[in-house]
């Protein structure tokens, strides 16, 4: 992400000092290559994917994932984006691309990190039978979130939770073992300006308040959930 070009090592180091690990997700060929390069940092994990708005790059990105499967903890983010793409024919091409990634995740035994903007129900229809899926920056309904966790999948709550009653409601009703948190850096900051990995602590504080438990207990649960979801050691 260009937002970190001026101080990337400092951002990663700040997170490291606070015991925050990063899952960096590629969204096109170029950012997948950049994600792989971040693996020189001990607290970074790589997920290779393709934003649905760039579906035309699918074959190159699939080739990249096959060649770099050993360094990936997941495939993603991939999914559907009906917010940015309105045309029916383009949406169909996004769906066909998502199918390819669903097949690839089954073949390679990797979890899927799913982007579902204004398309949560449709992504669920297509991806409900994968082994492991994480619905990143989940913004859908409580009812659908319950179906997602019933499939054994994970709902990822972003730092938007700081200001969102709907996300706090999700935290109240979902089984805690199926919740993970994220920043979606550089987006969705609780503060003015850029989000960065260490600000995941803003979401952590809200979760521990809603769950009415000690911060350390919430943190260790969420870390464990993330490790289970992405098969991290």
Interface residues with Zn ion (CB under 5 A) are 77, 115
Dist. CA 112–CA 104, nearest whole Å: 10
Min CB(100)–Zn ion separation in Å: 18
As measured in angstroms, the least distance from the Cβ of 215 to Zn ion is 27
Give the nearest distance from C-beta 217 to Zn ion in angstroms.
29
Q: By three-state DSSP, how is residue 97 classified?
A: helix
Query: Closest CB to Zn ion among 77 and 201?
Result: 77
Phi-psi sector, 162: left (phi>0), alpha (psi -120 to 50), beta: alpha
Residue nearest to Zn ion (CB): 115
> CA-CA distances (angstroms) from residue 43 to 21, 46, 56, 222?
5, 10, 32, 16
- In angstroms, give the least distance from the CB of 195 to Zn ion: 13
Q: How far apart are CA 95 and CA 91, in angstroms?
A: 6
Compute the half-sphere exposure of residue 149: CA atoms within 13 Å on the CB side of its CA.
19
Write out the DSSP string of 185-231. Answer: TTSS-SSSS---GGGHHHHHHHHHHHHTS-HHHHHHHHHHHHHHHHT
DSSP for 29-56 reads HHHHHHHHHGGGSTTEEEEE---GGGGG
Residue 16 makes CB contacts below 8 A (sequence gap 6+) with 41, 42, 43
DSSP state of 177: G
Q: How far is the CB of 136 from Zn ion (least distance, A)?
A: 5
Cβ proximity to Zn ion: between 115 and 160 the closer is 115
Cβ nearer to Zn ion, comparing 35 with 208: 35
- Looking at the Cβ atoms of 137 and 206, the one nearer to Zn ion is 137
Cβ 137 to Zn ion shortest distance, Å: 5
Choose between 115 and 167: whose C-beta lies nearer to Zn ion: 115
Query: Residue 115 or residue 178: which is nearer to Zn ion going by CB?
Result: 115
């Amino acid at each position: 992400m260009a937002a970190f070009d001026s101080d990337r090592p400092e951002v990663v180091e700040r997170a490291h000092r606070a015991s925050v690990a990063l899952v960096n997700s590629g969204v096109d060929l170029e950012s997948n290559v950049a994600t792989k390069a971040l693996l020189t940092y001990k607290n970074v994990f790589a997920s290779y994917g393709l934003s649905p708005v760039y579906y035309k790059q699918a074959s190159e990105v699939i080739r990249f994932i096959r060649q770099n499967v050993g360094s990936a903890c997941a495939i993603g983010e991939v999914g559907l984006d009906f917010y940015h793409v309105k045309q029916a024919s383009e949406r169909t091409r996004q769906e066909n691309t998502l199918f390819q990634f669903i097949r690839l995740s089954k073949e390679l035994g990797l979890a899927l990190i799913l982007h579902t903007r204004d398309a949560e129900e449709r992504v669920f229809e297509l991806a409900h039978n994968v082994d492991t899926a994480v619905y990143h920056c989940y913004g859908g309904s409580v009812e659908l979130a319950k179906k997602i966790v019933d499939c054994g999948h994970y709902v990822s709550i972003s730092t938007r939770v700081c200001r969102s009653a709907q996300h706090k409601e999700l935290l109240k009703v979902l089984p805690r073992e199926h919740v993970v948190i994220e920043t979606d850096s550089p987006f969705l900051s609780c503060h003015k300006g850029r989000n960065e990995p260490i600000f995941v602590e803003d979401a952590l504080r809200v979760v521990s308040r809603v769950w009415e438990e000690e911060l350390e207990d919430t943190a260790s649960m969420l870390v464990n959930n993330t490790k289970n979801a992405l098969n991290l050691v």
